[in-house]
Amino acid sequence: MKSLSGLCLGLVSVLLAACSGPAPQQAADVIYSGGDILTMAGEQPQYVEALAVKDGHIVLAGSLADAQKLAGKTTQQVNLNGRTVLPGFIDAHGHIADYTLWWGKPDLSPPPVGDTRSIEDIKAKVAKYLVDSKATPAQLVLVNGYDDSLLAEQRHPTRADLDQVSNTIPILIIHASGHLVVANTPALALVKITKDSKDPPGGHIQRDRKTGEPNGVLEEQAGYPFFAVFPQPAQSEQIDKLVEIQKWYAGFGLTTVQDGVSSPPNVAMLQEADRQHKIIFDIVSYAMWKTLGTPAQADANAANVDIHVPGSELSNAGRQYDTDTLVRTPVTLDAPVKERLKIGAYGEHFKIGGIKIVADGSPQGKTAFMTHPYEVPPPGQSKDYRAYPTLQQEELNEWLEVAYKNDVQVITHTNGDAAVDQLLQAVALAQAKYPGKDLRPVAIHSQLARHDQLDAMQKLGVVPSFFTAHTFFWGDWHVQSFGKERAYGISPMNYASSLPGFKFTNHHDSPIVPPNMMFLAWTAVNRQSRSGQTLGPDERVSPYIAFKAMTDYAAYQYFEEKTKGTLEAGKLADLVILDANPLKVEPMAIKDIKVLETLKAGKTIYKAQ
């Protein structure tokens, strides 16, 4: 039996240990304090004095006094010196893998992204690139980013323009929207598009009005044949480029990024990059619907797909890359599938989120499917021109039914209000057949969605993902195309925010525009066009709502609200440190705020020089 003195000494030892702070294994790795720590939790701004991080997770978001109770000998104390901390920004829609095709190539974008102002500028840049790249007639040359709305000539380049650059080397230039392309004569020959070619469903071949010959401009699915002849870089080259592109993205505060409408080679590349531990933030991929065959084929192939239950996300610290269940090669429909495709579960930093469908075109390209005619139709079109859908209603219905049957999230490109109507009908039918499922279908862009359509989205559980950057980049063009009333209503984020409990997101759609998240928030708050007009003052939102759409609500869109989007204990330490508080500066100054540091699961992935 122990002596009384021994018991007393033991009690004193316990008390001393308690006073000295937590045991080493419990001590926080880092404690942040001394600045504005904006949690983004709740419907009104909430700040905490301190943030404590351990093993890549937030262990405390609260008072400095409570945080210091978690300090140990090895805890790093970070004084923010008045800087601001927010949750890491979440890309609600974009195409990061596509950048590997354009990285290092000339950019045909107009100012402020690039310096192209005329068709002559395009011709000069493409001609120089042919020389620099030592292009030959054996391979298609791709160049991206032209924008007819801002060219001096106020028209698309044509086959004839590109033939002046080369009539032997096949050239394809991509519109800024990604929904139109221009091909020279050798490129048209490559995919066998001639005077006798008919418009494909969901596409249009523009033609010379006198001769009927294709003029080189191909809209929507008329340009899809080129996918089969795109020059595909070696996978190792793509991964090397991806490493550089990620560093650039991280400089904008991004910690979760999307690869929408992923092709099989891009899915395979991202999976391999993840296996090699070369992805520094989380990437969510959505497979291009056209690569899955028909809805019936996709449904039949669902037996080879493992579905991860939404809402049960693993944290980074607990993730394991499972090579037995996460497919490393593209699933093909014409051969037996040897590996099961896993949807919804991360490997290390990569997961397949579901399927991406393109239901219509672009407003800047005048191919967005509308219920009422364009104010100014494209050349050669009648006054009742409303553009056209990519898929007919019946096919879209079939895709949503397959998705709901198999518990797969679908994100659908819907710019025009007629396309939004199609999606809402398809979702309603699928939900009636498979009720009670929370699959959070996403209406990508929702540019010209009407208020009554947002009401319907709220009832159906559809998440609209807006693209407010259009107010700056193409706002003036939209006034001309749609008239003031419709143009002023694009990306109706403020109305969405007025609906109780309704969640929506905002995105940059890179590489359509750069992934500058501070600029994106600025467009949501100010809605200022290139000419300086406020494009729909009633749809401006507060800075807090602008950032909710890029953090908290965006995490919800990905079924990751338990692990991301707000600064709360138990969530990943995905952080961005800014040089000023976007809620406290003048609204027009939001775009000038600098990202000083970006952290993914507590590790720095970007730090300003």
User: What are the CA-CA distances from residue 30 to residues 53, 113, 160, 393, 572 (Å)?
Assistant: 5, 38, 61, 53, 13
CA angle, 496 then 499 then 505, to 5°: 35
Q: What is the pLDDT of residue 307?
A: 78
101, 140 contact by CB (below 8 A): no
Q: What is the pLDDT of residue 245?
A: 96
CA atoms within 13 A on the CB side of 442: 32
52, 70 contact by CB (below 8 A): yes
Identity (one letter) of the amino acid at 166? S
460, 424 contact by CB (below 8 A): yes
> 3-class DSSP state for residue 174?
strand
Q: What is the pLDDT of residue 368?
A: 96
Backbone angles phi, psi at 60, to 5 degrees: -155, 135
Q: How far is residue 603's CA from residue 519's CA, in Å, rounded to a whole number?
A: 25
Q: Give 368's contacts (C-beta < 8 A, 6+ positions apart).
A: 360, 361, 362, 387, 415, 416, 419, 447, 448
**Cα torsion angle, 467, 468, 469, 470, sign:** positive
Q: Single out the residue of 260, 354, 261, 345 nearest to residue 302, CA to CA.
A: 354
Q: Which two tokens stand for residue 534?
A: 């406020």
User: What are the CA-CA distances from residue 502 to residues 461, 499, 513 (Å)?
Assistant: 9, 6, 26
> 3-class DSSP state for residue 233?
coil
Q: Which two tokens stand for residue 485?
A: 């009333």
310, 339 contact by CB (below 8 A): no
In DSSP terms, 217 is beta-bridged to: 182
User: What are the CA-CA distances from residue 363 to residues 216, 232, 445, 477 (Å)?
Assistant: 20, 29, 10, 9
In three state form, how does the secondary structure of 118-151 look?
CHHHHHHHHHHHHHHCCCCCCCCEEEEEECHHHC
Q: Give 275's contacts (C-beta < 8 A, 6+ positions apart).
A: 321, 323, 328, 347, 348
93, 258 contact by CB (below 8 A): yes
245, 279 contact by CB (below 8 A): no
Q: How far is residue 5's CA from residue 21's CA, in Å, rounded to a whole number?
A: 25
State pTM to two decimals: 0.89
Q: Which two tokens stand for residue 516?
A: 């500058």
Q: Single out the residue of 585, 583, 484, 500 nearest to residue 537, CA to CA.
A: 484
Q: Which residues of 35-61 are buried (b: 16+ CB within 10 A; e: fewer)?
A: bbbbbbbeeebbebbbbbbbebbbbbb
Q: How far is residue 417's CA from residue 345's CA, in Å, rounded to a whole number?
A: 33
In three state form, how does the secondary structure of 399-427 look?
HHHHHHHCCCEEEEEECCHHHHHHHHHHH
Q: Domains in the chain, please, with CATH?
A: 18-82 (2.30.40.10), 116-229 (3.10.310.70), 240-607 (3.20.20.140)
Q: Which residues of 224-238 are buried (b: 16+ CB within 10 A; e: fewer)?
A: bbbeeeeeebeeeeb
- Classify residue 541 as exposed, middle or buried by CB count within 10 Å of its CB (0-12, 13-18, 19+): buried
464, 504 contact by CB (below 8 A): yes
The series of mean pLDDT values per 10 residues for the chain, 609 residues long, is: 36 35 69 98 97 97 97 96 98 95 86 91 93 91 88 92 94 88 93 92 90 92 85 90 97 98 91 95 94 90 75 40 32 42 88 95 94 94 95 97 95 98 98 96 97 98 97 95 97 98 97 95 97 97 98 97 97 98 98 98 96
Helix (H) / strand (E) element for 588: namely none
358, 410 contact by CB (below 8 A): no
Q: What is the pLDDT of residue 309?
A: 56
